[in-house]
Structure 1
Amino acid sequence: MSESRISKRIAAIAESATLKVDAKAKALKAQGKDVISFAAGEPDFATPAHIVEAALAAVRDPKNHRYTPAAGLPELREAIALKTKTDSGTEVSATQVTVTNGGKQAVYQAFAVILDPGDEVLVPTPYWTTYPEAIKLAGGKQVDVFAGSDKDYKVTVDQLEAAYNKNTKALLMCSPSNPTGAVYTKQEILDIGNWVASKPNLWVVSDEIYQNLTYDGAYAHSITELVPEIADRTIMVNGVAKTYAMTGWRLGWMVSPVDAAKAANNLQSHLTSNVSNISQRAGIAALTGDQAPVKDMLLAFDRRRQLAVNELNRIPGLVTPMPKGAFYVYADVSGLLGKSYQGVMLNNSLELADFALEKAEVAMVPGEAFGPSGYLRLSYALGDDQLLEGIQRLQKLFS
């Protein structure tokens, strides 16, 4: 089938780089290869038992076998509004909540609701791979604002101001960050929020899906918590996938001003109708039930985070800042490039990632998926033994 048979809009979408690498790793495993994959941002833990039990009970209740409101179950929307007040420091009503099929749909709908063709979105870089495609699908243009390892991957107000122009419609914020794990400080968020407040027509899309995964006393401040006057032009996206080990349940949400929420609900009513009622019932149990399993998972992530950074930084020429959140490390591998290993010259991080997969059977996502070359993202949301074994293979490969 020729590409001309497919719409230009859809043909221009790039496959998710993280899922592509993960799929390749799984295919190699199926062939008997001993591949260790740092690719997918997916906790290795089972979904907590009380959440699973809530879903089993929901399956047996006939009321969950029917359509429910497109915006989500009222009980879940209330629980999300309470979480937003508790964790994001922002008072919202349930009418501002749209329950979505995972965080990705929330991101897509957020941009679809506010962007017109030609509108620009300031995107701190490195960025999650789905942002560019969601912005393009909405007719917008992404404007990268880059901060490297020397800045702990965090952009400044001066950088944002330099990138701002009359076409700028929105600023994307993601703290803790995917792919870097960077967490903006309270003052940094306050400064950026005050800058946004000085731009009367500028929206903020705040991706907060990792907000409960922070370390070393860091706290993921929401921009609306610190600068509440911009709440009427801020859309917060979130979900249960990362915090509760529920990636496969496909349950996310967006919290937005009433007019944006109404527009998103209208879009969703045609796009997907309601989210699976079983997943929604599980989501209620996740948000309102026992939080002890979350704390246990966080302790494990913290242990793995420190192990990953300490071991990676033993590789000469590789620099990995200690992340304060999420479950990723973002290694600066520029010191490894332009060199030959086992007779192979590595010119960029894409070549380096392919080389590591072929020679050491270690799967990582190259920086090209998140912005500039010269970096590798490794998820440490996998077992401790595999984590150490994978990094030791890299140490041997690049020694």
Structure 2
Amino acid sequence: MLSEIIRNVPRSPITAVFDRATELRSCGHDLVDLSIGEPDFDTPDHIRAAGIEAINTGVTRYTAADGTAALKDAVRRKFSRDNQLVFDRSQVVIASGAKPLIASAMQVVLNPGDKIILSTPAWTSHVGMAQVCAADPVFLETRESEAYRIDAHRLEAAITPDTKLLLLCSPGNPTGAVASTEELGTVAEVLRRHPHVNVISDDLYEHIVFSPAKFATLAQVAPDLADRVLTVNGLSKAYAMTGWRIGYAGGPDWWTSGLRVLFSQTSGGPCSISQAAAVAALDGPQEFLEERCHVYRRRRDRALSELSKVPGLKAQAPEGAFFLYVDCGKYIGKRAPNGSLITSSTDLAEHLLAAGVVTVPGAAFYADPFLRLSVATSEESIAEGIRRIGVGCRQLE
């Protein structure tokens, strides 16, 4: 029998969308996929070459549970170069992806009943990770009218003696909001008054930021809080290395030592080949990051242009990441041709599947009525997908 905790944790609704799309494709349906949060670029050649070299030279054995010294040092150089953060090797850990690393980071600090604050719209797995720890998610509303900024007064009001963690995600998934230095400064002011609150900073979309927005991270803005901030990043999004499964973090010794204990019991260490490739990624040429960011911006702009042709749908221009968070409230309460009532973004996303386009409902991010559209695909697919969205929306009465 499943544990009580797992019985109470819902399956990721994003995974449910992917599985439904896979089922329809297997039945011969033609679908344009605007749901997936995965770059469509190939892993750069020099990174792949480093992985091949690792295989050919026998770098195929266990590594330390928290990563190789070579990769930890490359991560330290990255943090210093990009974020002005200085870590000892003992303060860096490597894991098989940023997602399991964040989950592990929660496990080593959260007790059942502890509270963790997450701003909404929230990535669904951040919430699920907390639920797996039997912790209580506390949702901090951010508003489209405020560009999804964290309001310091609402943050202060959300903190109680039981609050153990605050999770920050910038650029945000699904909103693409980028936390400015000023916004992080106001968050830091609140945290200084509550020394019992620790912070996980999910920086995975760091290199996908559109000018004039500029990336910053909390430990960089407020170095006096470094003893309670774990800065998490990875290679999946910027370096198109989703399948290589490498995430990393830098933070205080007490937190990283706890992670090492957990990894020693639950992990044989990240893939040795992937770690060798990750060193090449972090230490090698970085110019392509800006080039790919420009591509994402063009795609974002194309998507916004196409959306403007669909009455009743609107979205702010995201400052980063590769998603649009689209307000679809005008279509709630309408009926589909089969007579079914559209009561939520989940219903609308299901209806749009019949129109041949895959989207993610905002209900998955604890903020409705919205749809998340990915622009991590070609401009042609974006245009065709939004055209199909328009067709599906015009069918509603």
TM-score band, normalised by shorter chain: over 0.9
Instruction: Confirm or deny that 1:18 pairs with 2:24.
Output: no
Does residue 228 in structure 1 map to residue 238 in structure 2?
A: no
* Residue matched to 2:39: 43
> Contact (CA 8 Å) 2:219, 2:231: kept in 1 or not?
no
- Give, in whole Å, the separation in 2 of the partners of 1:269 and 1:319: 48
Q: 1:289 aligns with which of 265, 281, 284?
A: 284
Where 1:90 maps in the other structure, the secondary structure is coil
Following TM superposition, by how much is the alpha carbon of 1:11 offset from its aligned partner in structure 2, in angstroms? Answer: 2.4
SS in 1 for 2:349: helix
Residue 388 of structure 1 is matched in structure 2 by 383
Contact 1:366/1:377 (8 A) holds in 2: yes
Deviations 1:306-339 (A, max 9, x none): 1112222332222201000010111111122112
Counterparts of 1:209 and 1:13, CA distance in 2: 24
The answer to whether the aligner puts 1:173 opposite 2:174 as a matched pair is: no
Return the alpha-carbon distance in structure 2 between the equivalents of residues 275 and 58 of structure 1. Answer: 14
**8 Å contact from structure 1 (residues 194, 227) kept in 2:** no
Give the superposition deviation at 1:154. 2.2
> Which residue of the partner structure matches residue 154 of structure 1?
149
Is this contact kept in 2: 1:149–1:332, CA < 8 A? no
3-state secondary structure, aligned to 1:171: strand
Q: Which runs of 5+ in 2 are unaligned?
A: none
Corresponding residue SS for 1:106: helix
Aligned-pair identity (%):
34
**Hey, what does 1:256 align to over in structure 2?**
251
Q: Aligned partners of 2:37, 2:310: CA distance in 1, in Å?
A: 23
Partner AA of 2:41 in structure 1: F
Q: What SS class does the counterpart of residue 221 from structure 1 fall into?
A: coil
Counterpart position of 1:58: 54
1:100-153 deviation digits (Å, cap 9, x = unpaired): 110111110111111111110110001111111111222311000112322222
Structure 1 residue 14 displacement after superposition? 2.2
Q: Which amino acid aligns with 2:390?
A: Q
Q: Deviations over 1:35-91 (max 9, x none)?
A: 0111110011111111111000001122x2222211111111011112112222321
- Looking at structure 2, the residues matched to 85 and 73 of structure 1 have their Cα atoms a distance apart, in angstroms, of 18
Equivalent residue runs for 1:338-353 within 5 Å = 338-342=333-337, 343-353=339-349
Q: Is the CA contact 1:338–1:346 (under 8 Å) kept in the aligned structure 2? A: yes
Contact kept? 1:239, 1:253, Cα under 8 Å: yes
How far off is 1:340 after superposition? 2.7
Q: Hey, what does 1:6 align to over in structure 2?
A: 2
Instruction: Tell me which moved more, 346-355 or 289-298.
Output: 289-298
State the partner residue of 1:116: 111
Question: Is contact 1:353–1:364 with CA below 8 Å preserved after alignment?
Answer: yes
d(CA) in 2 for partners of 1:93, 1:32: 54
Matched-pair contact (CA < 8 Å) for 1:89–1:224: no
Within-5 A mapping of 1:124-203: 124-203=119-198
Aligned to 2:356: 361
- Could you tell me which amino acid in structure 2 is paired with residue 324 of structure 1? E
Partner of 1:269: 264
Alpha-carbon separation, structure 2, partners of 1:307 and 1:73: 42
Give the letter for the 2:247 counterpart: G
Q: Which of 287, 293, 298 is the equivalent residue of 1:298?
A: 293
Tell me which residue corresponds to 1:374. Answer: 369
Kindly indicate whether residue 312 of structure 2 is the aligned counterpart of residue 309 of structure 1: no
Aligned-CA RMSD value: 1.3
Report the secondary structure of 2:178's partner residue: coil
1-structure distance, mates of 2:312, 2:146: 18
CA contact (8 A) 2:92 2:256 kept: yes
Runs of 4+ with >4 A deviation: none
Q: Distance in 2 between matches of 1:82 and 1:23?
A: 39
Task: Report the CA distance between 1:93 and its aligned residue.
Answer: 1.7
Structure 1 contact 19–40 (Cα < 8 Å) conserved: no
Give the 3-state SS of the residue equivalent to 2:302 in structure 1: helix
Answer yes or no: is the 8 Å Cα contact 2:176–2:318 preserved in 1: yes
Residues of 1 paired with 2:34 and 2:149: CA distance? 23
1:99 lines up with 2:105 in the alignment: no
**Using the alignment, how far apart are the partners of 2:191 and 2:309 within structure 1?**
40
Structure 1: state its 5+ residue gaps.
none
Q: Residue 174 of structure 2 contacts residue 372 of structure 2 at CA under 8 Å; is this kept in 1? A: yes
Counterpart residue number, 1:34: 30
Displacement of 1:32: 2.0
Q: Residue 238 of structure 1 aligns with which residue? A: 233
